[in-house]
Amino acid sequence: MSDRAAKTLKGQTGEWEIVIGMEVHAQVLSNAKLFSGAATAFGAEPNSQVSFVDAAMPGMLPVINRFCVEQAIKTGLGLKAKINHRSVFDRKNYFYADLPQGYQISQYKQPVVGEGEVTIDLADGVSVRVGIERLHLEQDAGKSLHDQHPDYSYVDLNRAGVALMEIVTKPHMRSSEEAAAFLRKLRAIVRYLGTCDGNMDEGSMRADVNVSVCRPGGYEKFRETGEFRHLGTRCEIKNVNSMRFIAQAVEYEARRQVDILESGGKIDQETRLFDSKAGETRSMRSKEEAHDYRYFPDPDLLPLEIDQAWIDGIARSLPELPDEKKVRFVGLGLSAYDAAVLVAEKETADYFEAMLAEGAEAKSAANWLNNEVFGRLNRAGLNVATSPVSAAQNAVILALLAENVISGKIAKDLLDIVWSEGGDPRAIVDARGLRQVTDTSAIEAAVDRVIAANPQKVEEAKAKPKLAGWFVGQVMKETGGKANPGVVNALVKSRLGIVDEG
Amino acid sequence: MSDLTEFTLAGARDAVRAKKVSSTELTKAFVSAIEGARTLNAFVTETPDRAIGMAKESDARIARGEARPLEGLPLAIKDLFCTKGVRTTAGSNILNNFVPPYESTVSQNLWDAGAVMLGKTNMDEFAMGSSNETSYYKPVINPWRARNSNQNLVPGGSSGGSAAAVSGNLCLGATGTDTGGSIRQPAAVAGIVGLKPTYGRCSRWGIVAFASSLDQAGPMARTVRDCAILMRHMARVDDKDSTSVDIPVPDYEATLEQGVKGLRVGIPKEYRIDGAPPEIDALWVKGAEWLKSQGAEIVDVSLPHTKYALPAYYIVAPAEASSNLARYDGVRYGHRTKDTVRDLTDLYEKTRAEGFGKEVQRRILIGTYVLSSGYYDAYYTRAQKIRTLIKRDFEQAYEKCDVLLTPATPGPAFALGEKSNDPVSMYLNDVFTVTVNLAGLPGIAVPAGLTENGLPLGLQIIGKAFDEATVLRAGRAIEIVANFTARPHKWWTA
């Protein structure tokens, strides 16, 4: 693992390598906020989900929501990470209108989750391990609305106090593809766990990307020694909120840094904002302008004590995660590629497994989904969750195929019918006379008709047995696709006197 | 009793319960006493209508035989406790006209026990001060004056309004809060009893925060018994305050008279400080003799890190305050500048410059400084280490004794303006009390004597964590022997 060829960036003075780390903010799936009982539903009326604690009224105190802690532990276990038995909430102090307390309650020196790892699968079949540095719990801020009034800014505090998990990786990614693959994998894990809905459009998952460039070999030295001096100066790119933007932002930023270095400049450690419209990153604030957050332990909250029994209980309730599921699917006869495709999204894996539960055979179900269903869904802009054809309907279609009731060609037609009209595939087959013809005499008659009508082709086929396929196609056409292709094939060959080799 | 305001809380309770006096009569007596004492400026907000309404309800309950433990007893509430529908200022302009839509847990506990609210007492702004001079609502005047003097004295602080109200018979008792001595120091210089319970004993929910790891509510009253009664009904574990502690609250009054026979009383040698008036030391020696005369055993103990307590306190408390007071930004409630503002930062700067007084600004600046990157370890981390050492000092002392006896303050009430331009001299007022907050322990100040000029002085009993019962019992023993019967003469009613 992780012995992939480094992807290099060509500059005028030689080659450069990219090093990427990420900080992902994942909103905890929870009905209540991290330190207040207020609701967390997305899209509610502005300021309708705000408690006195969230509004930082005088004398209000935070009380930790046990469920949010459980979600963080669960996520930590999903990241194969160390759960810290004791962690501390700190105050991160800064002033902003959408931060009512004037500080964010976060975890600074002692996070709830320590080191872990995520395995990402790259397109060429290579797997790479990305180290997780830590995961900590913190409050989200509210939202400032600057476009509602010519003179005033408005503040919506519905999001203020909502629980976030900040997941920090080690600088273990080496290309924009790896960065995107990491985020996809992380998203899949939290969605499998049910700890975050991973919805990037609604902002429930947001990524900041740290990018630096170094000369070939620097990264390896860093991995050997753990010394950051072997890497270049990094810039943090904020607010990269889609997979596509991550790739764009990394590519742009790496090129920008190479250009600066090659023209004799140096990289300033700074925070940059990704402008998705312009496809570029822009300086937000330099290291000198960086806030002094004056972190200190929040005296309103006791240290978070987590005993092993609680962790063990959560570990026992952990669902099967993508990596394990993939191994199991391969055990069912799927190729590694097919298994990876199926487990990438929890809904897809669930859909596939629902088909198996309805009796479908694994390999043919996977082929059917990959060859027929996913393409149709993509073209229609749908996904398995919004698919017009249910897993059960697909399973019936595959059963009809397996029972030789319909041919492969009819199966595809049948899928189209069920797609647009719905209904029980078996009933549709009966009502529309789609059963394949297995009656040999009827097929024989059709074969004979085709042979009689094409004497020239018969001669050619005798010399070139591959042409038998042309006859099979003609017979299928003659029978409206309902003839059993196996039977047709055998009959054609026997009539033409072709002997199967091997 | 001809003047109903002369009642102790226990006395009034018994009289009301026996229907010798109605709560309404009692309450009206205090309402008019408050009106007649506006010179003292003890109250920021008087709530006479609410008081009489609550008193009538109490009388109705008493008539139905449904009296609760504090039924119909009029109290004053420090203006740091949020009171639902009643303006709560924390002594600050920035909360001028802030009316909370919720009631603090401690005050709610008192109302649930039947008590009547007379109003909100004046205090140092955000409880930062030892003389009540930092209040936006003007200083409180101590009911006590030196013999043959017309000079106005401070009532101590920050719970100076509560101390003056109790001392001047404007209420039966009052709530205070104590972060570094804000109950005990004003109690001592106003000749009343003030108890700061163990950190975690009272819920902090709904009390405007100053320094969260030190703030604790407690009772102020004219007798130890009255404090014992109030303490029982203020304390309660609260799931809205993660730092409140679930330890049963005993009936402190029931054990009050058990005496100090066999009790080991520690005398910490480090509390003898240079420059303190000799009468403070003399009173301390006397206090030890009083306890000994009642059967207590006097032991010498050492609290070696005492001298670091005040500096550590003036790092920890401002650090927490700088963060706790960040929420007063003019955005959601409280004062907002009427000036035109360029941007959000300008709004913050103008609002906070107008809203906070000098002392509060000073502490926010100190707190911001000590938490800053590069200074944090030198100040905040070291102060926390000292805090741990001070806690350990007490633990080691308690291996040899059950309670400690110390002076409550380094001197009597001083004149208005005498120390207000010298913050360090002002901070020294808390020299005997801050250690207790840093260690989270209970402490009581009990009036024990008068200076040569006729001003009250107090002694302090410090106890083990959650052992308020013993603290009160020892305080009661001092009260008995000290026989402190002096009262301020009511010059303000003239």
Contact B90 A57 (CB under 8 A): no
Buried-exposed string B16-30: b where 16+ CB fall within 10 A, e elsewhere: beeeebbbbebbbbb
pLDDT of amino acid A501 = 54
Contact A102 B376 (CB under 8 A): no
Residue A308 lies in a domain: no
Helix (H, G, I), strand (E, B) or coil at B121: strand
> How distant is the Cα of A272 from the closest Cα of chain B, in angstroms?
22
Q: Nearest CB to B326: which of A102, A153, A300?
A: A102
> Do B155 and B190 contact (CB within 8 A), yes or no?
yes
In the DSSP assignment, the letter for residue B219 is E
Strands A205-214 and A235-240: antiparallel
Contact A58 B209 (CB under 8 A): yes
Tokens 């960036």, residue located: A9
Q: How far apart (Å, rounded) are the C-alpha atoms in residues B427 and B118?
A: 31
At residue B421, φ and ψ (nearest 5 deg) are: -100, 5
**HEC letters along A318-333:** CCCCHHHHHHHHHHCC
Give Cα separations from A475 to A462, A486, A487 (angstroms). Answer: 17, 12, 11
Average pLDDT in the B80-92 region?
Answer: 98
Test the B interface: residue of A60, A105, A139, A154 with most B CBs within 10 Å: A60
> How distant is the Cα of B318 from the closest Cα of chain A, in angstroms?
13
Using a CB-CB distance cutoff of 8 angstroms, which residues of chain A are in contact with residue B322?
93, 294
Contact A101 B88 (CB under 8 A): no
A265 and A385 fall within a common domain:
no
Amino acid symbol at A329: F
Residue A336 lies in a domain: yes
pLDDT of amino acid A500 = 63
pLDDT of amino acid A6 = 72
A370 and A481 fall within a common domain:
no
In the DSSP assignment, the letter for residue B40 is G
Helix (H, G, I), strand (E, B) or coil at B379: helix
Whether B108 and chain A come into contact, CB under 8 Å, resolves to no
Closest residue on chain B to A154 (Cα): B331
Whether B348 and chain A come into contact, CB under 8 Å, resolves to yes
Strands (E), B178-228: 193-196, 217-221
Buried-exposed string A156-183: b where 16+ CB fall within 10 A, e elsewhere: bbbbbbbbbbbbbbbbbbbbbbbbbbbb
A351 and A407 fall within a common domain:
yes
List, for chain A, all residue ranges whose pLDDT scores fall below the cut of 70. 1-3, 287-288, 500-502
Residue B151: closest CA among B488, B489, B416, B422: B416
Residue A314 lies in a domain: no
Indicate which CATH number applies to the domain containing B485: 3.90.1300.10
> How distant is the Cα of B174 from the closest Cα of chain A, in angstroms?
19
pLDDT of amino acid A502 = 41
| ipTM reported for the complex, 2 dp | 0.96
Average pLDDT in the B340-367 region?
Answer: 96
A270 and A156 fall within a common domain:
yes
pLDDT of amino acid B404 = 98
> How distant is the Cα of B368 from the closest Cα of chain A, in angstroms?
8
Buried-exposed string B247-280: b where 16+ CB fall within 10 A, e elsewhere: eebbebbeebeeebeebbbbbbebbeeeebeebb
A148 and A72 fall within a common domain:
yes
Test the B interface: residue of A50, A95, A103 with most B CBs within 10 Å: A95
Q: Nearest CB to A299: which of B88, B320, B332?
A: B320
The continuous run of DSSP H or E covering A163 comes out as strand A163-169
Q: How far apart (Å, rounded) are the C-alpha atoms in residues A206 and B284?
A: 64
Test the A interface: residue of B82, B175, B242 with most A CBs within 10 Å: B242
Give me the catalytic one of B22, B23, B58, B78. Answer: B78
Residue B210 lies in a domain: yes
List residues bridging with B450 in a β-sheet: B456
Alpha helices in B190-254 (DSSP H): 224-234
What is the CA angle B287-B290-B292, rounded to 5? 110
Residue A228 lies in a domain: yes
Residue A98 lies in a domain: yes
How many domains in chain A?
Answer: 3
Test the A interface: residue of B239, B329, B342, B360 with most A CBs within 10 Å: B329
**Tokens read off for B31:** 């309402």
> How distant is the Cα of A143 from the closest Cα of chain B, in angstroms?
14
Q: Nearest CB to B212: which of A101, A153, A300?
A: A300
Q: In which domain, by residue range, is B455 found?
A: 4-263+402-493
Instruction: Please say if the pLDDT value at position B421 is more than 80.
Output: yes
**Tokens read off for B92:** 């600050």
State in Å, rounded, how far the first CA of chain A is from the last one: 41
pLDDT of amino acid B474 = 98
Give me the catalytic one of B107, B130, B135, B158. Answer: B158
Q: Which residues contact A260 (CB under 8 A, 6 or more apart)?
A: A266, A267
Q: How far apart (Å, rounded) are the C-alpha atoms in residues A374 and A13?
A: 45
% of chain A beyond a pLDDT of 90 = 71
Using a CB-CB distance cutoff of 8 angstroms, which residues of chain B are in contact with residue A57?
82, 100-102, 333
Among residues A394, A413, A431, the one where a domain terminates is A431
Instruction: Please say if the pLDDT value at position B1 is more than 70.
Output: no
At residue A334, φ and ψ (nearest 5 deg) are: -80, 155
Using a CB-CB distance cutoff of 8 angstroms, which residues of chain A are in contact with residue B211?
299
The CA R_g of chain A, rounded to the nearest whole Å, is 30
A335 and A479 fall within a common domain:
no
Contact B331 A95 (CB under 8 A): no
Test the B interface: residue of A91, A156, A287, A300 with most B CBs within 10 Å: A300
pLDDT of amino acid A170 = 97
Answer yes or no: B323 catalytic. Answer: no
Q: How far apart (Å, rounded) are the C-alpha atoms in residues A138 and A303?
A: 14
Over residues A211-240, the pLDDT tens digits come to 999 999 999 999 999 999 999 999 999 988
Using a CB-CB distance cutoff of 8 angstroms, which residues of chain B are in contact with residue A93?
322-323, 326, 371
Contact A60 B348 (CB under 8 A): no
Per-state percent for chain B, helix, strand, coil, to nearest 5: 45, 15, 45
Q: How far apart (Å, rounded) are the C-alpha atoms in residues B466 and B450?
A: 31
At residue A418, φ and ψ (nearest 5 deg) are: -60, -40
A416 and A489 fall within a common domain:
no
pLDDT of amino acid A122 = 85
Q: DSSP for A281-328, please give it.
A: EEEEEETTT------EE-TTS--EE--HHHHHHHHHTPPPPHHHHHHH
Using a CB-CB distance cutoff of 8 angstroms, which residues of chain A are in contact with residue B205?
59-61
Among residues A388, A413, A431, the one where a domain terminates is A431
Residue A324 lies in a domain: yes
> Do A312 and A85 contact (CB within 8 A), yes or no?
no
Tokens 């509560």, residue located: B162
Residue A177 lies in a domain: yes
Answer yes or no: B158 catalytic. Answer: yes
> Do B376 and B107 contact (CB within 8 A), yes or no?
no
Residue B448: closest CA among B484, B486, B477, B411: B484
Instruction: Please say if the pLDDT value at position B106 is more than 70.
Output: yes
Per-state percent for chain A, helix, strand, coil, to nearest 5: 40, 20, 40
Indicate the Cα dihedral angle A340, A345, A349, A351, nearest 10°. Answer: -140
Residue B281 lies in a domain: no
A422 and A452 fall within a common domain:
no
Tokens 């330190």, residue located: A35
Using a CB-CB distance cutoff of 8 angstroms, which residues of chain A are in contact with residue B376?
294, 296
Residue B447 lies in a domain: yes
Contact A58 B98 (CB under 8 A): yes
Among residues A268, A290, A312, the one where a domain terminates is A290
CA B87 to chain CA mean position, Å: 20
A457 and A426 fall within a common domain:
no
Whether B332 and chain A come into contact, CB under 8 Å, resolves to yes
Using a CB-CB distance cutoff of 8 angstroms, which residues of chain A are in contact with residue B212?
299-300
Predicted TM-score of the model (pTM): 0.91
Q: In which domain, by residue range, is A392 found?
A: 320-431
A418 and A490 fall within a common domain:
no
Q: How far apart (Å, rounded) are the C-alpha atoms in residues A425 and A176?
A: 44
**HEC letters along A230-274:** HCCCCEEEEEECCHHHHHHHHHHHHHHHHHHHHCCCCCCCEEEEE
Q: How far apart (Å, rounded) are the C-alpha atoms in residues B77 and B217?
A: 11
Contact A95 B348 (CB under 8 A): yes
Contact A294 B209 (CB under 8 A): no
Whether B207 and chain A come into contact, CB under 8 Å, resolves to yes
What is the CA angle B342-B344-B350, rounded to 5? 75
Over residues A458-469, the pLDDT tens digits come to 888 888 888 888
Q: How far apart (Å, rounded) are the C-alpha atoms in residues A496 and A475?
A: 14
Using a CB-CB distance cutoff of 8 angstroms, which residues of chain A are in contact with residue B204?
59, 61
Whether B127 and chain A come into contact, CB under 8 Å, resolves to no
Interface of A with B (CB under 8 A): 52, 55-64, 91, 93, 95-97, 100-103, 153, 155, 292, 294-296, 299-302
Q: How far apart (Å, rounded) are the C-alpha atoms in residues B10 and B472?
A: 15
Answer yes or no: B167 catalytic. Answer: no
Instruction: Please say if the pLDDT value at position B48 is more than 70.
Output: yes
Strand order in B297-301's β-sheet? B43-46, B116-121, B74-78, B173-177, B217-221, B193-196, B443-450, B456-462, B403-407, B264-268, B297-301
pLDDT of amino acid B270 = 96
Indicate the Cα dihedral angle B196, B201, B206, B212, nearest 10°. Answer: 70
Contact A292 B333 (CB under 8 A): no
What is the CA angle B469-B473-B477, rounded to 5? 170
A260 and A384 fall within a common domain:
no
A390 and A467 fall within a common domain:
no
Give me the catalytic one of B23, B130, B167, B182. Answer: B182
Residue B101: closest CA among B89, B91, B113, B87: B87
Q: Nearest CB to A59: which of B205, B213, B376?
A: B205
How many domains in chain B?
Answer: 1
Residue A303 lies in a domain: no
pLDDT of amino acid B333 = 96
Closest residue on chain A to B321 (Cα): A299
CA B116 to chain CA mean position, Å: 19
Contact A58 B211 (CB under 8 A): no
Q: How far apart (Å, rounded) are the C-alpha atoms in residues B89 and A4?
A: 65
> How distant is the Cα of B1 from the closest Cα of chain A, in angstroms?
40
Over residues B288-346, the pLDDT tens digits come to 999 999 999 999 999 999 999 999 999 999 999 999 999 999 999 999 999 999 999 99
Amino acid symbol at B202: C
